[in-house]
Amino acid sequence: MCEPEKLEEVERIMNREIDGLVESLEESDLERLRNRALTAATLAGERPGGRMQRLGRMWTYLGRRVSLEEDLEKINAVTLDDLRAVYEAFPFRPRVVGRLTPA
């Protein structure tokens, strides 16, 4: 959110930050992301609804059941190089930017 006269500047800054995001990632960033994903997967497995949703997603996406342990191992195996490879395959471009300005 910004003043209408600063739209171009804000968009320029936003694009610069997004473009530099992947190269700025450090192991500590990945560790925080990994811990969040591990916690979310584990906590979801504690509730029957969470287990069933996860099971349904895995069956839909992969056509097979994937154990929570296997899922956790895969999360732990992600590297910074993996994240960079995904970014190369699916860059954040083209971007769609919406602007809501006063009339």
- Measured at the CA of 53, the angle between CA 48 and CA 57, to 5 degrees, comes to 150
Please, are residues 87 and 22 in contact by the beta-carbon 8 Å criterion? yes
In tens, the pLDDT along 3-59 reads: 889 999 999 999 999 989 998 999 999 999 999 999 998 998 888 888 899 889 889
In tens, the pLDDT along 74-98 reads: 999 999 999 999 999 999 888 898 8
Which pLDDT value is given to residue 36? 96
Tokens 């171009």 belong to residue: 8
Q: What is the DSSP letter of 101?
A: -
Q: In the chain, what are the domain boundaries?
A: 26-89
Q: What is the three-state SS of 3-55?
A: CHHHHHHHHHHHHHHHHHHHHHCCHHHHHHHHHHHHHHHHHHHHCHHHHHHHH
Does the model's pTM come out above 0.75?
Answer: no
Task: Look up residue 21 and give its two tokens.
Answer: 């995001």
Q: Tell whether the model's pLDDT for residue 103 goes beyond 80.
A: no
